[in-house]
Every structure is written in C-alpha cells, then in structure tokens.
Structure 1
Amino acid sequence: MRLDVLNSGYGPGTKLLFAMIRLFSGHPVPDAARIVFYRPDFYGNHAKAFTHAAMRGPSTWSVADRELTAAYVANLNGSAFCIAAHTATARQAYQNGPMVAAALADLESAPIAEPLRATLRMLGKLLVEGVVDAADMRAVLAAGASREQVEDALAVCAAFDTTARLADAFGFEVLAPEGFEAGAKYLLRRGYK
C-alpha cells in the first residue's frame, strides 16, 4: 500500500524542486529520492550521507562492484523498486548487462571475481539467516577480499537492506525502464548526495 506522504508530505520549496526535476529530466522523481526529503532531519540527511559514503566513498571495491552488491541485496530482499534501480545502475557501471544478470540469477556460476563472489555469498547468508560467523569471514578473506572490503560491503548491505525495507513499507512506485535508466545515469554522475 503506497503511503500518501510520498506524494504530499513536502513544503513548497521541495515541491518546486520535484517539479523542476520532472521538467528537466522528463521523469518523475523516484520515491527513493522523495523519501529523503520527507523529514530530512530525522532520516533523509543521515541516509544520504551514509549511503553516499558506502557507495562512493574510498574503497577498493569499484563503483560497479558496489552497485552490484546493492542489486544483490535488493534481489535477496525481493524489493522490486530496488532490484530495478540498482540492476540498471550496475549494468551501466560495468557496461555489461549479461554479467550483472548472471550474478543476480546464479552467483556461483556468474563471471565475477572470486573475492566479490565470496563477499556476496557471505552477505546472502547474513540477509537470509540473520547471522554470519568467524568461519564465514575466514572464507571471504581466504577468497582474497580484504578486511576493509568486508567492512565496505557490510556498509552497502546495511544501506540497501534499509532502503529495500522502506521501499516495500512505503510502496515505492516501480518506474518504467527508462526512468530507472535515467536514475542510473544520475547516480553514476552525482552519487547519493
């Protein structure tokens, strides 16, 4: 059930901003962006800062790897909005749609590097079972991921596990493919600020 607050819970300045974005982009403002403008002091400003740091801050994971991680988390959560948004962004970042599709369809046979596969496998266990243990972490490290990469992947997972839950709770509207492609271009150009 879509909550009306995503349509009307804003002041005149924010409404004008949304109208300008729609005018210049030709697409409605995605609900993931709308929600950060609703009570920005409570959620939006903090979420933007955390997500931007996780997705575009210093990391040895590439932007494409982090976008694939976000898509993988969304896929496990079954969040239609987040799956579409981050699959589109990962496809554009890698410039390799078939590889992204393969990773989301079958992680074990996907043509991705082993450190990323092991990290995604660990995140999958965390999301599905709610726990990981020292053996899981040793397996990720043995596959070649660094401790920093594990921390960075956990930050991406936290950001998009939260976003996927909000998307489902608020009933985020699933855009047309062109809207997600435009959003992906924006995210790759500007990040999550």
Structure 2
Amino acid sequence: MRLDEVERGDTLRHRLLIRLISRVAGYRLPDAARVAFYDRGFAGPALGAWTQRAMRAPSPWTVSERELMAAMVASWNDCPFCVGAHRAISVRGMDAAVADAVLTDYRTAPIGEPLRATLAFLETMTKDPDGLSAAEAREALDAGATAEQLEDAAAVAAVFAVITRNANALDFAIPTAEEFDRAAGMLLRRGYS
C-alpha cells in the first residue's frame, strides 16, 4: 500500500527536502530514501544505522559482494526494488555479467566457492529459517568461508529481511536502470545512515 506521506513527505520540511534532492539529483528520490524521511521513528535512524553497519563496516567481504548478497536476499523475497537497487551498487565494484549470473543462479555463476557456499547458507536462512542448522554453516566453512564472513553475511541477510518486506509492503516504485545507477553512486558516496 503506497502511503501518500511517503510519496510526498509527511511534513512541510520533508516535502521541500524531497523536492530539492530530486531536483538536484535529476531523478525522483527513490522510495527507500523517502521512507527514511517519513516518521523518523518508523525506519529512519535505527534502520539506517543497522544497514550502514551491515553494508559498510569493515568486513572480509567487499562492498560489492555484500550488495550482491542484499540483491540475492531481495530476489528470494520477491522484492524487485531491492534487487534493482543493490544490483546497481554491486556492479560498481564487480563485473556486471558476474552479478547477473549470480542473480540468475549462484550455483553455476563464475564465483569463488566461499561466496557460493555463503549464498547457499543465506538462501536457507532467508527461505527456510527453521531449516537452518549447524550443518549449513559447516558446509560453508568447509568450502572456505570463515566464521567472520558467515556472521557478516548473516547480518546482511537479517537487515534485508526487514528492508525487503518494508519495500514490498509500501509498494516502492521501481526506478529505471539509469535512476538505479545514479542512486547507486549516491549510496556509495553517502552510505545508508
């Protein structure tokens, strides 16, 4: 359900800020950013800080790999907005053909075994959380992923379990590929919080 307050802003200050940012950026401010302005207690600072830690804190995973994980979680949760947004960010630091191959089928994509095994772990975590056990973690570790990598990947999946559901529930508009690309540059420069 689209909320008018998210679309236009819930206060005069937010309305003006949304219009200004959209005008300066040259594209419609994505709904994810609009939600961050809407009722700051709803999803703004806390969700932004959580996302920033999961996506930009020091990690053995690159930013692009974590963004690709977010896109995969979005794919498993049927969230086209987040697939598009996080794919656009991931390809800023990796070959677009590799990212697309992962999104098509990570099992056959040309990626390293630690990432492939971690994505299998995240798929179970996302699609069948009750089925996630130490055995899945052991498989990822045996494939070369480290405990720190699994923890960091689980943090990405956890925050995007929330974000994708918000995006779907609020019926986020899907930007064009060019708008996703431009927003990706902004998120890489500014981060999530």
Higher relative contact order (CA 8 A, sep 6+): 1
The offset of 1:67, in angstroms, is 0.5
Q: Distance in 2 between matches of 1:28 and 1:90?
A: 21
- Give, as a single letter, the amino acid of the residue that structure 2 aligns with 1:165: R
CA offsets 1:58-90 (integer angstroms, 9 cap, x no match):
111100110010011011111111111111111
Alpha-carbon distance in 1 for matches of 2:50, 2:182:
23
Paired-residue identity, %: 43
Q: In the alignment, is the contact (CA less than 8 A) between 1:108 and 1:117 conserved in 2?
A: yes
Query: Secondary structure of the equivalent of 1:108?
Result: coil
Structure 2 runs not aligned, ≥5 long: none
Taking structure 1 as the reference length, the TM-score comes to: 0.95
Between the aligned partners of 1:179 and 1:77, the Cα distance in structure 2 is: 22
**Which residue of the partner structure matches residue 53 of structure 1?**
53
- Structure 1 residues 135-174: aligned runs within 5 Å: 135-174=135-174
2:110 corresponds in structure 1 to 111
Aligned equivalent of 2:24? 24
Distance 1:91 1:42 in 2: 30
SS of 2:145 mapped into structure 1: coil
Partners of 2:184 and 2:113 in 1: CA distance: 26
Say what the alpha-carbon RMSD is for the aligned residues: 1.2
Number of residues of Structure 1 aligned to a counterpart in Structure 2: 192
More helix by share: 1
Gaps of 5+ in 1: none
Instruction: Give the equivalent residue in structure 2 for 1:82.
Output: 82
Q: Distance in 2 between matches of 1:101 and 1:63?
A: 16
